[in-house]
Amino acid sequence: MTVSIPATSAQSNHSIVLDGKQTFYAVGLYMDFLEDRTKLLTIDSIASEAYHGQFQRSTSEAINFGYSSSAYWVRFTIQSTSEHEDSWYLESKNYNIKRIDVFMRDGSDWLVKSGGLSLPFSERVVQHRYFLFPIVLQPNDRKTFYVRFESDGNLTIPLKLWRTDAFIAKDRKEIYVLGLYFGIAIALILYNLFLFLTLRDTTYSIYVLFNTLYASAIFIFNGFAYEFFPTDIAEYCSRRLIFFLYHFSIVFAIWFIRSFLETPRHVPRLDKVLLTLLVCFSSVALGAFFLDYGILSRSVNFLTLPTALVALTVGVIRVRQGNRPARYFLIGWTVYLVGAMLFQLHGFGAVPSHFITEQSYQIGSALEMILLSLALGDRINLLQREKEAAEAEALQAEIYQLKNVELAGSLAETERQKKFAEQALAEIELQRQISEEALRESEMQKQFAQEMSDALAKSLQAAEVQKSEAELQRQIAQEMSAALAESLYNVENQKDEIERQRAAAEQANALKTELLAIAAHDLKNPLQSILGFAYLIREKPDDVNAVAQRAETIERSSKRMVKLINDLLEDAALQAGKLLIQKSAVDVAALLSVAIEHNRAQAEQKSQCIDARLEPNLIAELDADRMREVFDNLISNAIKYSPTGKTIYVEAQQHTGMGRQEAETTNTPLSPDSSILISIRDEGQGLTDDDKKKLFGKFQRLSARPTGGESSTGLGLSIVKQLVELHGGRVWAESEGKGKGSTFFVELPMLHRFIQD
């Protein structure tokens, strides 16, 4: 879009007057511009009287010319009122401008300084992520500058004039803010990656991919990556790669929305719209390296706005449907869109330029990442409650089914007894009728007595047969009763098994909840430290010593977070039996020496000495990296829990006897003449009886505390024990009591061919 404002006669007096009070000027409010449709005009033509009256006045801080193929010239004049020489920077903050040429008079000739993406980073006038051009003004000097812009995408001209020292201070603040943004992004990515590896929920992996791609796009967008690309393809990569990363990040954002808000099941119509947008973004992302640059630029505005509106609509619908995590999503998405809108309005010069508007994109994105992470955490709680409700419902259904089986069995037995009784009554009635008939026959025909006697004999035989049948039916009834009892016994066994499985599931859920709670608690403190000190750095950036100290604190907190995450991942791998051990013949004394040197600086900070007595030729079959981790942990603990000025004693020798009486009960017994014994003794606070019982457990806090305020994850000794046992060894600790120091022993099998006589 070209802004057309009639030229006035006062243009020549429309100058930037350097009064010595302001530190920067928005050049857009003081400049005139001219469109060069042919791109053929030269500086001599533009500066001539023929074109002087064709320039148009700019009235905004940043002019947006839209997607134009023309070149544009701007003209402005600077008047110095200072009595001494002034140094200033002319800054163009549009990273995607193809070429910028700044012209100024040098006697009768024109001096030109060039920049833009079409030039290698090494040829920039000032090697900075922005396009900077130094300007030096003599006392009471007045100079007119011409700047030519050329771009094949959306052309916005946000020119600013900065006093040199003010620009350096402003740039340092921006670096702090961007560092905080990327620090938050990396921390959330690692935290949710850990949750994905722990819970195996694909929603977390989608969240990690979305934030990784989006943060990478922001990194390139802020001009940090240009200097690292090869010179001949730097322009191509920096302009194309950002579109590739941005479009693919939105692909994963849409995928995250569909998975997190369950749109295929709850909002099927809008889910089809989301799928269509996903396909569109994927197509543009795949074509980012060969499609026309103008098409790529327009696709951002054409696809991003409907995606944002659909996502907001889906979030509102899911909130109204009662989905609690959707509230976090809706707030996070809204905050992100507000930040993006403020950034666009600032780029167009529609809102004032200050810290919030300049960094609104990063602020909105960081808040969105944090809120979406909170939404995922709330989703865990919701899924846990739904699982518990489903298990309770299944258990209730199982109990109801057992009662139905029992009732059905009782009814069947009652029906069988009823039929048996009816048959018996029928037989009795039949016998009665036969007897009455026989008596009548006896009275009426006495002469047939012999025949009646035979008939009576037959009746007796029939009664005997009936008796045998009754006995058989009684046996069948007993067998059915035994079968029913056995069936009820099996049902009870199945019920007990179901109860055991439910208890095991509850235990596993409790362990998972405890693990997440501990991880969240231990990550929360260093994150709060990072945020707090980053805020102090931003508030007082000029205090160099304080900034260095706070940066060191941020570094320590970050290392603590990384140590906790590594320990959790390694413990999870050990529990799952997936930790790969690669053994080879290793000199234990040499490995201990490396561990001692690695921890010597930590000991020297506390004025401690490390006394090492290591026998040579102690060869064992080990994974060197894993066993050095064991030695590092034990030596670091000895330093951590020993007062200032004490001595740490490290010994290694061929084993000549059992280390302690209790070792005889270990699951990995070692022969006294075929093992290596390592001992690490400190002069620290010692161990109580209660400490010894829980020493090698997970997340255990002992009575002793680090003497120098060091941190502890509570996983180190548990990992040590598991690693030593994986090598066929054992580990234990001895202490005479509180305040008398402690000694940790590690016993490892020695390779047979290296055993000394």
Residue of 300, 314, 313 lying closest to 344 (CA atoms): 300
Residues 595 and 635: their CA atoms lie apart, in Å, by 8
DSSP assignment of 208-221, as one string?
A: HHHHHHHHHHHHHH
Neighbours of 418 (CB within 10 A): 10
pTM: 0.48
> What structural domains does the chain harbor?
9-165 (2.60.40.2380), 171-388 (1.20.1070), 580-754 (3.30.565.10)
* Least confident span in 45-59, 157-171, 358-372, 500-514: 500-514
Instruction: Please write the tens of the pLDDT for every residue from 106-130.
Output: 877 899 999 888 888 788 888 888 8
Q: Percent helix, strand, coil in the chain (nearest 5)?
A: 60, 15, 25
Q: Mean pLDDT of all residues in the chain?
A: 77
Residue of 366, 364, 378, 370 lying closest to 260 (CA atoms): 378
Question: Is 90 exceeded by the pLDDT of residue 145?
Answer: yes
Instruction: Please write the tens of the pLDDT for every residue from 591-623.
Output: 999 989 988 988 888 899 999 999 988 999 998
- Rounding to the nearest 10 degrees, give the CA dihedral for residues 667, 672, 676, 678: 80
Give the bridge partners for 57, in sequence order. 32
Q: Which two tokens stand for residue 475?
A: 């046996």
pLDDT at 515: 56
Residue of 742, 502, 565 lying closest to 641 (CA atoms): 742
3-state SS, 6-46, equals CCCHHHHHCEEEECCCCCEEEHHHCCEEEEECCCCCCHHHH
Neighbours of 730 (CB within 10 A): 20
- Rounding to the nearest 10 degrees, give the CA dihedral for residues 578, 583, 588, 590: -100
Residues 352 and 302: their CA atoms lie apart, in Å, by 26
Place 647 in a pLDDT band, splitting at 50, 70 and 90: very high
Instruction: Please write the tens of the pLDDT for every residue from 410-458.
Output: 666 667 766 766 776 777 677 677 766 656 665 665 555 465 556 545 6
Q: Which two tokens stand for residue 417?
A: 């007894």
Residues 611 and 634: their CA atoms lie apart, in Å, by 15
Q: How many Cα atoms are found within 13 Å in the side-chain-facing hemisphere of 731?
A: 23
* CA separation, residue 678 to residues 83, 581, 632, 687, 729 (Å): 76, 21, 13, 19, 11
* CA separation, residue 211 to residues 214, 219, 283, 375 (Å): 5, 12, 20, 15
Give the position of tokens 């941190």: 711
Question: Is 50 exceeded by the pLDDT of residue 160?
Answer: yes
Residues 396 and 388: their CA atoms lie apart, in Å, by 12
Mean per-residue pLDDT, 373-398: 69
The angle at the Cα of 339, spanning 335 to 343, to the nearest 5 degrees, equals 170
Residues 640 and 707: their CA atoms lie apart, in Å, by 6
Give the position of tokens 């009886």: 689
Residues 617 and 586: their CA atoms lie apart, in Å, by 10
Instruction: Please write the tens of the pLDDT for every residue from 460-475.
Output: 566 565 666 667 767 7
Mean per-residue pLDDT, 273-283: 92
Question: Is 80 exceeded by the pLDDT of residue 167?
Answer: yes
pLDDT at 525: 56
pLDDT at 288: 82
pLDDT at 651: 93
Q: Is 393 exposed, middle or buried (0-12, 13-18, 19+ CB in 10 A)?
A: exposed
Instruction: Please write the tens of the pLDDT for every residue from 679-716.
Output: 999 988 888 888 777 777 776 667 677 876 676 666 77
